[in-house]
Amino acid sequence: MLMKKSHEMPTREAALPGRPDPVRTDEVHYVTGRPLKGPHPEGFETAIFGMGCFWGVERVFWQLPGVWVTAAGYSGGYTPNPTYEETCTGLTGHAEVVQVVFNPHEISYAELLKTFWENHDPTQGMRQGNDLGTTYRSALYYLNDAQKAEAEASRDAYQAALSKAGQGGITTEIAPAGPFYFAEDYHQAYLAKNPGGYCGIGGTGVTCPIGVGVDA
């Protein structure tokens, strides 16, 4: 039962109960050595992205200049402190996501959004490639009104580019960020620990027009 993939979001009442304590995770990032849970430098900001399997997603972001630290986790659902096996059922409501802590003086939220749109297919609903289920949905969880406005504007700009290229409608969930739960230690920086591991990252091939003349 625990490995059955769900394509429908559960209700809060039907969600798994979870637990009061967090699951065990890494204290510092395997690649950078920086603390996953902080403290982070003053003035740094946080973003949360869901693009399918978080293994490949995290690597995309930790390689960007200006990104301080990344962490794989679960967000967008109901179950407190879920395990990986629980999220895979779809009965927690969570998506696999990556939390990105970044220096806004070195990389902007808009640049992170461009990376988000171009490195997965946001038109697939409750899946990403061969990964099926609600945990693999495309999601942007914003932490303030400015992020919300930028996320929505970027979605509209990318939809125009996708439509021009003859591709489908964006299904990305854009919602306020709720609790972020760190995934288990073995998921953190997974592709650095396992260089030959699975990476499901793949974009549409359509350039996101952020920074390249959106109104052109």
Q: Tell me: the pLDDT tens digits for 94-141?
A: 999 999 999 999 999 999 999 999 999 999 999 999 999 999 999 999
Residue 152 has pLDDT above 60, yes or no: yes
Cα separation, 146 vs 157, whole angstroms: 17
Residue 204 has pLDDT above 80, yes or no: yes
pLDDT for 2: 40
- What the block records as the tokens of 127 is 């899946």
Catalytic residue, candidates 53, 88, 199, 208: 53
pLDDT for 208: 96
- C-alpha 187 chain-centroid distance: 14
pTM of the model: 0.94
- What the block records as the tokens of 152 is 């929505």
Residue 90 has pLDDT above 70, yes or no: yes
For 7-32, how does the pLDDT look when each residue is reduced to its tens digit (9 = 90+)?
A: 789 999 999 999 999 999 999 999 99
Task: Please state, in angstroms and as integers, the Cα–Cα distance from residue 116 to each residue in 111, 112, 141, 203, following that order.
Answer: 9, 6, 12, 9
For 30-79, how does the pLDDT look when each residue is reduced to its tens digit (9 = 90+)?
A: 999 999 999 999 999 999 999 999 999 999 999 999 999 999 999 999 99
For residue 78, give the amino acid letter: Y
Mean pLDDT over each residue of the chain, to the nearest integer: 94
Check if 53 is active-site: yes
Written in H, E and C, the secondary structure of 146-212 is: HHHHHHHHHHHHHHHHHHHCCCCCCCCEEEECCCCEECCHHHCCHHHHCCCCCCCCCCCCCCCCCCC
